[in-house]
A and B are shown apart, each in its own frame.
Chain A
Amino acid sequence: MSWLTEFVRPKIRTLLGRKDVPENLWHQCPACQQMIFQRDLEANLKVCMHCGHHMRATARERLNWTFDEGAYTLIDMPRVPQDPLRFRDQKRYSDRLKEARDKTKLDDAILVAHGQIGGHKAVVAAMDFNFMAGSMGAAVGEGIVAAARLAVLQKAPFIIYTSSGGARMQEGAISLMQMPRSIIATQMVKEAGLPFLVVLTDPTTGGVTASFAMLGDIQIAEPGALIGFAGARVIEQTVREKLPEGFQRSEYLYEHGIVDMIVNRAEMRATITRLIDMLVPPPAVVTEPPAPPPAANELATV
């Protein structure tokens, strides 16, 4: 982030709130260093118009960009025990949670909403990297389970935007158990015959990648996203060699057969709509029993 945005932003925020961003606010692309008007950037779905770099987006933005007319209903997140381990490193986990909540105005690192996409009912979960690096503890796991249940109830496809550094260490083995729990959620959706689409965004790593995030019927990745299991530093320390160019990026995963497609943010909504169009048959076809063969006399009168 440039000195300019750092400097201007807090003041403007308090004056105007989040919605109206003045034209004169600049943002520097971290990939090509070009300066971009903040408003142009947001109109372009936070994709740099100079180099195409996809910047990180909030859970709210994901929902806004995905649903028809940006309209959706958020569901209340199920309550989970807060700080069950009474974890404390250099800071208390309870304080970290509070700070993250103040900063993001989110309860935890996930939002779940339902609404319509291309005229189809759909349930969408979006993770938010700004909330403790999108880490998965009981709240995220429970959010995914709740989203899956809602999808089954509404007979709607389930779409997840992932963005996470992995498990939430501060919840110890409870966070580890979110791996099987979130996988159970994907099983419920699939058993109900409903599509489960995963959109991998920058970054998605660790226990999130090694659970629900890799089990989509269709695996979509945004361009240039970091997606992997182990962290680059750990790998480098283990194998003691330089990591290949573009390692663990979407394009690398595509080449290695791990994702179905890489989709630009501008095409994401249309792509999801097309997929749902093809995977979800019109209701009549599913619910109506096959028509009995017409009697011979009926045929004659036609």
Chain B
Amino acid sequence: MRNFLDFEKPLAELESKIDELRRMPGPEGLSIADEVSRLSEKADRQLRTLYAKLTPWQKTQVARHPDRPRALAYIAGLITDFMPLGGDRAFAEDAAIVGGLGRFRERPVMVLGTEKGTDTESRIKHNFGSARPEGYRKVRRLMELAGRYHLPILSFIDTSGAYPGIDAEARGQAEAIARSIEAGLAAPVPFVATVIGEGGSGGAIALGAADRVLMLEHSIYSVISPEGCASILWRDAASASVAAEALRLTADDLRRFDLVDAVIPEPLGGAHRAPDVMIASVGDALETALAPLLGQAPEALKARRREKFLAMGREGLS
């Protein structure tokens, strides 16, 4: 069963009709096939129109789609010989953060990601992609490891944000995030981050202070969730769609403000409709982003990364 978003309702009806027709046996097979292809074309057109003008709030829903490929899907599709590494060496292993050694197109790399999970069991295991301090401390540890062994870092960002819990605060959530950002900025190796779904605030930038930051077409990157923003500024979480508009959180917005470096187009109807196609094109985009970084001296790399962030918000904005 496919999950449909609210705004996809008309499409859902069409597609279920198509499924129904397909299952129908009988002598009129030919005319059914005609009807199926007619409806399929119609569904295709509808999908195209729908996705051509998604509102920021609709994009937020696509970015959070339950069937959207998660960090581990990209790792499975793009990284060979993946060896997950665990723990922060101080308190615990945090499965909200996945990370480890692997090969990207033959080259050994360090992979990091926030993992939301794909079903109830794995979502609970990965805490819905919301990490605790030990998760961010693992990020920092693995980034430093990558630096020592000259391994490029690839991160996949998909999180609604850092976990807001008593335990997380007690163990220094804020400090853990700050150190993780710091480690990214200080990494003496090429670092490419990709926002594959939800880029939620501090928990996202913790893996995102990179040389090149890529965003999938329907992913979002925001300082606060539209719901959170709405409940503070509109005093009403139901205004989330208005807040999503105001926050300028789409990939196009981020690109326009020069806060990310490239937008990767998604297959028609979003990444979840053709995960393999999406994953393959992320692979190509990573290759393109990584190539010019590979020959650079560590100091030059760090200096340029710094300059890139320092330039943000300073010019070309209004």
Residues of A in contact with B (beta carbons under 8 Å apart): 78, 80-85, 87-90, 138, 141-142, 145, 167, 169, 171-181, 183-184, 186-187, 206-207, 209-215, 228-231, 234-235, 238-239, 241, 243-244, 247-248, 252, 256-258
CB contact under 8 A between A85 and B248, given known A180-B181, A210-B178, A229-B174: yes
CB contact under 8 A between A90 and B234, given known A179-B181, A181-B309, A247-B169: yes
**Which of chain B's residues has its CB closest to A167's CB?**
B223
Contact A210–B202 (Cβ < 8 Å): yes
Residue in contact with B233 in the complex, picked from A169, A177, A238, A258, CB distance below 8 Å: A169
Q: B246: CB under 8 A from chain A? A: yes
Instruction: Report B294-314 CB contacts with A as 1/0, cut-off 8 Å.
Output: 000000000000100110111
18 A-B residue pairings within 8 Å (CB atoms): A90-B233, A141-B313, A169-B229, A172-B248, A174-B259, A176-B205, A176-B221, A187-B182, A206-B202, A207-B223, A210-B173, A210-B174, A214-B174, A229-B173, A229-B177, A243-B166, A247-B169, A258-B175
Q: For B174, list chain A residues within 8 Å (CB).
A: 209-210, 213-214, 228-229
A264 CB → nearest B CB, Å? 23
Contact B169–A173 (Cβ < 8 Å): no
Contact A172–B247 (Cβ < 8 Å): yes
Q: For B315, list chain A residues within 8 Å (CB).
A: 81
Q: For B162, list chain A residues within 8 Å (CB).
A: 210, 229-230
Q: For A169, list chain B residues within 8 Å (CB).
A: 223-224, 229, 232-233, 247
**Which of chain B's residues has its CB closest to A257's CB?**
B172
Q: For B173, list chain A residues within 8 Å (CB).
A: 210, 228-230
Contact A81–B313 (Cβ < 8 Å): yes
Residue among A169, A211, A235 with the highest chain B CB neighbour number at 10 A: A169
Residue in contact with A176 in the complex, picked from B175, B222, B310, CB distance below 8 Å: B222
Q: B26: CB under 8 A from chain A? A: no
Instruction: Report B51-67 CB contacts with A as 1/0, cut-off 8 Å.
Output: 00000000000000000
Q: For B314, list chain A residues within 8 Å (CB).
A: 78, 80-81, 138, 142
Q: A85-B247, A228-B173 are in contact. List 17 more A-B contacts (CB 8 A).
A: A82-B318, A84-B257, A88-B246, A89-B233, A167-B223, A173-B254, A177-B259, A180-B181, A183-B185, A187-B306, A214-B174, A214-B179, A234-B164, A243-B166, A247-B169, A252-B170, A256-B170
Q: For B243, list chain A residues within 8 Å (CB).
A: 89
Q: For A241, list chain B residues within 8 Å (CB).
A: 166
Residue in contact with B209 in the complex, picked from A180, A213, A229, CB distance below 8 Å: A180
**Which of chain B's residues has its CB closest to A228's CB?**
B169
Complex Cα spacing A180 to B202, Å: 10
Q: B249: CB under 8 A from chain A? A: yes
Contact B205–A215 (Cβ < 8 Å): no
B244 CB → nearest A CB, Å? 11
CB contact under 8 A between A187 and B229, given known A230-B168, A247-B169: no
Q: For B185, list chain A residues within 8 Å (CB).
A: 180, 183-184, 187
Q: B111: CB under 8 A from chain A? A: no
Inter-chain CB contacts under 8 Å: number: 179
**Which of chain A's residues has its CB closest to B221's CB?**
A173
In the complex, chain B residues 224-272 whose Cβ is within 8 Å of any chain A Cβ: 224, 228-229, 232-234, 243, 246-249, 253-254, 257, 259
Q: For A83, list chain B residues within 8 Å (CB).
A: 318
Contact A172–B313 (Cβ < 8 Å): no
Contact B201–A176 (Cβ < 8 Å): yes
Q: B165: CB under 8 A from chain A? A: yes
Q: B18: CB under 8 A from chain A? A: no
Complex Cα spacing A186 to B186, Å: 12
Residue in contact with A187 in the complex, picked from B186, B247, B248, CB distance below 8 Å: B186
Q: For B172, list chain A residues within 8 Å (CB).
A: 214, 256-258
CB contact under 8 A between A181 and B312, given known A85-B246, A235-B164, A241-B166: yes
A130 CB → nearest B CB, Å? 18
Complex Cα spacing A87 to B249, Å: 12
Contact B246–A89 (Cβ < 8 Å): yes
Q: B317: CB under 8 A from chain A? A: yes
CB contact under 8 A between A172 and B222, given known A89-B233, A180-B205, A228-B169: yes
Complex Cα spacing A207 to B181, Å: 12
Q: B171: CB under 8 A from chain A? A: yes
**Which of chain B's residues has its CB closest to A87's CB?**
B246
CB contact under 8 A between A184 and B310, given known A90-B234, A174-B259, A176-B205: yes
